[in-house]
Amino acid sequence: MNCQECKDQFDALLSRQIAAERRSTAEAHLRQCAACARAFAEEQKLWKLLGRAEKRPASLGFADRVLRQLDSKPAREPRWWEAWTIPWRWATAVAVLVAVLAVSSIAILRHQQIEKEKQARATHFEQLFSVAQVDDPDLILLLPLDQNGDTL
Ligand SMILES: [Zn+2]
């Protein structure tokens, strides 16, 4: 039995809730290890002090509260890859934002281009309509209808 194993048996030794074989092994270690013997003596003093302390009843529901806490999941430390991903979450958010802005800009530019084309078609249609209104064929030749590549 090493020192840590021996210290782990202190409570069992003092409460006399230890198997005979384990007790004799721990007592053998205490006889040959001065450090553990000193630590065990301190533990014995503490147990005696606690034994003399005034006993107070636990508050109502104390056992239930303790059992509930024991049943609840312990808080877990984040794994290294979880801590590592936190800056990557921000990087991903920024990348998504940039992508959304780029797509929006392209959509706006495309919309403006479509509006210009619509305007040009409307203007062209108005010119064609004005041609239909003219009765004199010589006047038609003077109208600027070949701006969009159209000729009469
Ligand atoms: Zn020891």
Q: What is the pLDDT of residue 124?
A: 86
C-alpha 12 – ligand 1 centre gap (Å): 16
**CA pair distance 6, 26, nearest whole angstrom:** 6
pLDDT at 79: 72
Query: Comparing 36 with 50, which gets the higher pLDDT?
Result: 36
Q: Say which DSSP state 74 is in.
A: P
Rounded distance from Cα 41 to ligand 1 centre (Å): 13
pLDDT band, very low/low/confident/very high, at 21 (cuts 50, 70, 90): very high
Q: What pLDDT band is residue 129 in, cutting at 50, 70 and 90?
A: confident
Mean per-residue pLDDT over the chain, rounded: 85
Ligand 1 centroid distance, CA of 145 (Å): 108
- Dihedral, 32, 38, 39, 43 alpha carbons, nearest 10: 120
Question: Ligand 1 centre from 28 Cα, in Å?
Answer: 10
Backbone angles phi, psi at 136, to 5 degrees: -85, 115
Better-scored residue on pLDDT, 80 or 34: 34
Beta-carbon contacts of 148 under 8 Å, excluding residues fewer than 6 positions away, are: 120, 124
| Å from CA of 43 to ligand 1 middle | 14
User: What pLDDT is recorded for position 36?
Assistant: 95
> Residue 31: how many CA atoms within 13 Å on its side-chain side?
6
* Domain segments of the chain as ranges: 3-53, 85-148
Tell which residue, 19, 33, 50, has the closest CA to residue 9. 19
Cα 48 to ligand 1 centre (Å): 22
The pLDDT of residue 9 = 93
Helices 34-52/20-32 angle, 10° precision: 120
Report the separation in Å between the CA atom of 23 and the middle of ligand 1, taken as the mean of its atom positions.
Answer: 14
How would residue 6 be classed by pLDDT, with cut points 50, 70 and 90? Answer: very high
For residue range 71-114, list pLDDT tens digits in order: 887 777 777 666 666 677 788 889 999 999 999 999 999 999 99
- Is 24's pLDDT higher than 60? yes
For 1, residues 6+ apart whose C-beta sits below 8 A from its C-beta are 9, 25, 26, 28, 29
CA distance 152 to 148: 12
